[in-house]
């Protein structure tokens, strides 16, 4: 590390245009979103991938492929209006049951959320296999345990979930603000109950 | 009779609808789902729903199911009992001596639950209706573009991990996780005690393996434990200046003898 | 989609800029190079993909990715001078062996734990290779020595482990009861049905 100081030019970051090219190549080559942290690790010392990626995003505006943010990472994806050209690439996903879809939505909007809370919202037990299926799709993962008696496990939505549904972050979930304002994301215990769980 | 007007005055079409519901009873995902479906017949915003009327609709449904000898799952009946209770609370003037939440509070909570469930249904539909990866927009088709370095990495996911743990632990379920195999472990203290007694006889270089207790040299598990503790004990004694250790080369037998000054004196 | 073709735009090809977008998206998403003939088949009637691809090629000149001809077909590739950034893309991924995943699970759930204790729990010896592999993956590391005779080393799970498995902390791992509720205790293969360690 100390030797880096010996020759300034040797470790000078490449010009921003060159960094943009690098980010372009890296994002392009990977099917999965690439985090800024990983970009930093792969690009020459002193690069500013976060800045480069913003330039790149602008450059691709209106093109057939787009630079999109997925949580803390970035990816290149085709423009949604061109989906009709891609029948050949379409991946058949296993059809999700209504229970699984609702459970996914509840986890996404109420995260972190415990199994008991999901059941409280749906008014029915979470059937075996539902959570499994969502874990397997990597759309949900385990969050921190809830600091309530029994320390129940919580579930949260993943980056793959954001990627799949074209969301920049969990804050961009459709209707999130309205639901919050309407108080529908509150964990309201039934009247007279001491312990929600 | 006149105190149940809403059941008797239902129109033919509503009755038909109720019957259709009953045929569908397997299609409901629990009592809350059924209540939500019933609430739609009121054709008002869920915030303005009449919980009293809804309770009556539900009870009528359960009645109808009984008539048609359709067996309802227990949680539907639990809800029916609760709604009957709620209905009486809502109809009777509040009893100030009674503990617990009022009928209005309970009704408000039920309305909240229905509204929340409906909201989650709506958002899940919106979510599934979004442009989706692999259907509307696509990732890079070729991922391996430049083949230069090949590095093998191993992967496993959280399911693998939990399943592995479950597999081990269920196998062991009836076995306490304590250390019950103590009889095949020779402690360092035991080995040390033994060596202190024997050290006076080690005038010449001797393989330390010859100091293993006889009954510890056979069974591999016991032998391994005895070797380790005996070795540790020789190190301890060497540190104390009681003996010397040597090894001709890596993996060659370890030999020990009494320290010279101890030998002479 | 079909309705779009009803009016007289039926035989009117999209503007060239739009065709260029289409070629861009198709080349990006395809697993193989795409021939002009296939492009013609996939794009709206009257399109001129050969022309569009030439425009696209020009557009990408000097960028981080390039439009290249591969035999009779076209593909998008990262610029050759950026190959040094791609070394991470050629990682071969293999599933962790059963012995390793079990050892890892025990370390995660029981940390800090000694090798003897791992063997005790698994009921079979743990090979040095298994421990080495987990150390190399940086999913486990050495913890404090146990203050018992022989002062054996202990193993604990690392940050990278939490990262890889999407956990906030090892305490968030679900317990046996939760595993059972999630139905994870049932798909147990019959003893001996699996590959040996």
CB within 8 A of B248, min separation 6: which ones?
A: none
The answer to whether B42 and B49 have CB atoms below 8 angstroms apart is yes
Shortest distance between the Cα of B152 and any Cα of chain C, in A, equals 5
Q: What is the mean pLDDT of residues B29-46?
A: 86
Report the C-alpha gap between A38 and B68 in whole angstroms.
64
pLDDT digits (tens, 9 = 90+) for C147-182: 888 899 999 998 888 877 877 777 778 777 777 676
Query: By three-state DSSP, how is residue B187 classified?
Result: coil
> What's the whole-model pTM score?
0.62
Report the C-alpha gap between A83 and B138 in whole angstroms.
8
Query: Is residue C186's pLDDT more than 60?
Result: no
pLDDT band, residue C4 (cuts 50/70/90): very low
Determine, for residues A101 and B124 on separate chains, whether the beta-carbon distance falls below 8 Å: yes
- The answer, for B45 touching chain A at a CB cutoff of 8 Å, is no
The residues in A 175-194 lying below 8 A from C, measured between CB atoms, are none
pLDDT band, residue B145 (cuts 50/70/90): very low
Strand partners, A155: A113, A142
Pick the residue with more confidence: A108 or B249?
A: A108
Query: By three-state DSSP, how is residue B257 classified?
Result: strand
Pick the residue with more confidence: A40 or C189?
A: A40
Q: Which chains touch C (3 or more CB pairs under 8 A)?
A: A, B
Q: Which of A90-94, B15-19, B62-66, C166-170 has maximum average pLDDT?
A: B62-66
Share of chain A above pLDDT 70, in %: 91
Q: What is the pLDDT of residue B181?
A: 47
Count CB neighbours of A189 within 10 A.
13
Burial bucket for residue B45 (CB in 10 Å: 0-12, 13-18, 19+): exposed
pLDDT band, residue A181 (cuts 50/70/90): very high
Determine, for residues A142 and C42 on separate chains, whether the beta-carbon distance falls below 8 Å: no
Share of chain B above pLDDT 90, in %: 18
List CB contacts (< 8 A) between C30 and chain A: 88-89
Q: Which of B207-211, C16-20, C160-164 has maximum average pLDDT?
A: C16-20
Q: Which tokens sit at A148?
A: 């309530």
Q: Which tokens sit at A137?
A: 């799709």
List CB contacts (< 8 A) between C183 and chain B: none
Query: By three-state DSSP, how is residue A88 classified?
Result: helix
Share of chain C above pLDDT 70, in %: 82
Q: Which residue has the tokens 């993996």?
A: B251
pLDDT band, residue A63 (cuts 50/70/90): very high
- The answer, for C21 touching chain A at a CB cutoff of 8 Å, is yes
Pick the residue with more confidence: A88 or C133?
A: C133
The residues in C 125-184 lying below 8 A from A, measured between CB atoms, are 166-169, 171-174, 178, 181-184
Q: What is the pLDDT of residue C185?
A: 57
Query: Is residue A56's pLDDT more than 80?
Result: yes
């Amino acid at each position: 590390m100390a030797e880096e100081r010996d020759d300034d030019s040797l470790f000078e970051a490449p010009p921003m245009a060159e960094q943009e090219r690098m980010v372009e190549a890296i994002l392009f080559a990977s099917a999965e979103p690439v985090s800024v942290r990983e970009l930093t690790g792969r690009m020459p010392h002193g690069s500013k991938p976060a800045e480069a990626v913003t330039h790149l995003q602008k450059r691709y505006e209106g093109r057939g492929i787009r630079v999109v943010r997925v949580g803390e990472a970035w990816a290149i994806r085709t423009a949604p209006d061109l989906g009709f050209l891609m029948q050949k690439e379409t991946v058949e996903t296993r059809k999700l049951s209504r229970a699984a879809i609702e459970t996914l939505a509840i986890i996404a909007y109420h995260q972190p959320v415990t199994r008991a809370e999901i059941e409280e919202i749906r008014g029915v037990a979470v059937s075996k296999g539902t959570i499994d299926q969502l874990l397997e799709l990597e759309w949900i993962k385990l969050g921190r345990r809830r600091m309530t008696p029994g320390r129940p496990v919580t579930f949260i939505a993943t980056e793959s979930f954001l990627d799949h549904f074209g969301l920049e972050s969990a804050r961009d979930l459709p209707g999130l603000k309205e639901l919050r304002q309407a108080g529908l994301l509150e964990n309201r215990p039934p009247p007279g109950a001491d312990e929600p769980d | 009779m006149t105190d149940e007007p809403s059941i008797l005055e239902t129109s033919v079409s509503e009755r038909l609808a109720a019957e259709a519901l009953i045929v569908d009873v397997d299609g409901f995902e629990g009592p809350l789902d059924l209540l939500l479906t019933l609430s739609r017949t009121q054709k008002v915003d869920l915030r303005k729903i009449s919980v009293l009327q809804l309770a009556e609709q539900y009870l009528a449904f359960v009645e109808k199911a009984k008539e048609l000898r359709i067996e309802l799952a227990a949680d539907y009946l639990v809800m029916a009992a609760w709604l009957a209770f709620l209905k009486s609370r809502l109809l009777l003037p509040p009893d100030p001596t009674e503990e617990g939440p009022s009928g209005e509070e309970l009704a408000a909570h039920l309305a909240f639950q229905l509204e929340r469930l409906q909201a989650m249904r709506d958002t899940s539909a919106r979510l599934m209706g979004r442009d989706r990866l692999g259907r509307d927009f696509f990732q890079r088709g070729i991922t391996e573009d430049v083949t230069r370095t090949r590095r093998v990495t191993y992967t496993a996911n959280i399911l693998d991990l939990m399943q592995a743990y479950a597999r081990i632990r269920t196998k062991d379920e009836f076995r306490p996780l304590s250390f019950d195999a103590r009889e095949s472990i020779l402690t360092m203290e035991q080995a040390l005690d033994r060596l202190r007694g024997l050290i006076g006889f080690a005038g010449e270089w001797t393989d330390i393996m010859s100091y293993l207790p006889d009954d510890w040299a056979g069974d591999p598990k016991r032998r391994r434990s005895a070797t380790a503790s005996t070795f540790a004990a020789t190190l301890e004694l060497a540190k104390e200046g009681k003996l010397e250790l040597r090894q001709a080369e890596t993996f060659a037998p370890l030999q020990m003898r009494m320290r010279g000054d101890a030998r002479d004196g």
